[in-house]
Amino acid sequence: MEKDNLIKKWLTGELTEAEREAFEKLDDYKEHLRIIETAKYFKASEFSETADINSFHQYYDQKRSLSNKRKALTPVLLKIAAVLVVLFGIGYMFLNPTDNAVSAEIAEKIELTLPDNSEVIVNADSEVRYNKSNWNSNRSVSLKGEAYFKVSKGKRFDVVTSEGTVTVLGTQFNVKSREGFFEVHCYEGLVSLSFKNNEAINIPAGSRFRIVNGERYFEQTPESAPGWIKNMSTLKSVPYIQVVKEFERQYNVSIKLIDVNQNQLFTGGFVHNSLQDGLKSITLPLDLTYSVDNDKNIIIISK
């Protein structure tokens, strides 16, 4: 009752100094102030001062009652919201299952077995993504970089790249998707490559298709598997800048070219386990020289 008496005296302006101090210490003091601020906009009756006071008291009591109900409902509403968030999260996970991502760092290779026992070897500085939860109905892999695939026979198998989608049923092939360079090399069976404009080409075993700086090339090759899976990069008629970038990926080094034609074609290869031997392999055939500092910064110079 003491609290109610203080509120009534406050409303009528009859609080003593001691009572005012006690009123200001009430837990809901600020709530009372907010209500009285709202009351400034309460339109008084032109006929009865008593009626106006009674109306205001009624308005005030309604505001307090509504405020208390809101406070009581807040914990309940928070619990309901939390449950809805959890349910939404679970539903989203089922409708949008998270991809499995496998990334090979620079100077690293990773072997991966997919849910259908298809085998993938991911080359340095490359990434593959696939959805494990719905793999049986959708055998699809997204590729950034380069990877060798040995696909188990079965339903359609897709490798999605920025250039297009490689489709097979069961075969062995290599896909390389790098900046300015795209290549699909089929070693067994038949590979279909579909572009974003709905154009499609078939690549049979023993063939490879390339796009180099926008130019297309199709050729026959005798290779039975890509050399890089055995730590030996083999390159045929490749712009020299692509050779340099591949070398940087395999050795985690930085190469600077001085007076070197980056677009001249290179045919050859280099090992992945000896920096000096590898550098000789990519410089001597083109009559180039090189130097290496302790931080693996390499300079290749035209003689």
Look at the block and give the residue holding tokens 């677009």. Answer: 263
- Token pair listed for 136: 């049986």
For residue range 209-267, what is the model confidence (pLDDT) as tens digits? 999 988 999 999 989 999 999 999 999 999 999 999 999 999 999 999 999 999 999 99
For residue range 22-71, what is the model confidence (pLDDT) as tens digits? 767 776 666 655 555 544 444 333 333 444 555 545 655 665 565 555 55
Distance in angstroms (rounded) separating the CA atoms of residues 279 and 84: 60
Query: How is the chain split into domains, by residue range?
Result: 2-95, 100-226, 231-302
Amino acid in the structure at residue 284: L
User: What pLDDT score was predicted for residue 36?
Assistant: 54
Distance in angstroms (rounded) separating the CA atoms of residues 137 and 48: 79
**∠ Cα 126 129 135 (to 5°):** 145
Task: Using DSSP bridges, classify how beta strands 297-302 and 254-258 pair: parallel, antiparallel or unpaired.
Answer: parallel
User: What pLDDT score was predicted for residue 122?
Assistant: 98
CB 193 within 8 A of CB 209: yes
Amino acid in the structure at residue 249: R
CB 113 within 8 A of CB 119: yes
**What average pLDDT does the chain have?**
82
Residue 110: band (very low, low, confident or very high) from pLDDT cuts 50, 70, 90: very high
Residue 123 has pLDDT above 90, yes or no: yes
Q: Is there a common fold for 100-226 and 231-302?
A: no
- Top-level class of domain 100-226: mainly beta
What fold does the segment set 231-302 form as a domain?
Answer: Phage tail protein beta-alpha-beta fold (3.55.50)
For residue range 272-297, what is the model confidence (pLDDT) as tens digits? 999 999 999 999 999 999 999 988 89
Looking at residues 111-139, what average pLDDT do you find? 96
Looking at residues 83-100, what average pLDDT do you find? 50
User: What pLDDT score was predicted for residue 55?
Assistant: 54
Residue 89: band (very low, low, confident or very high) from pLDDT cuts 50, 70, 90: very low
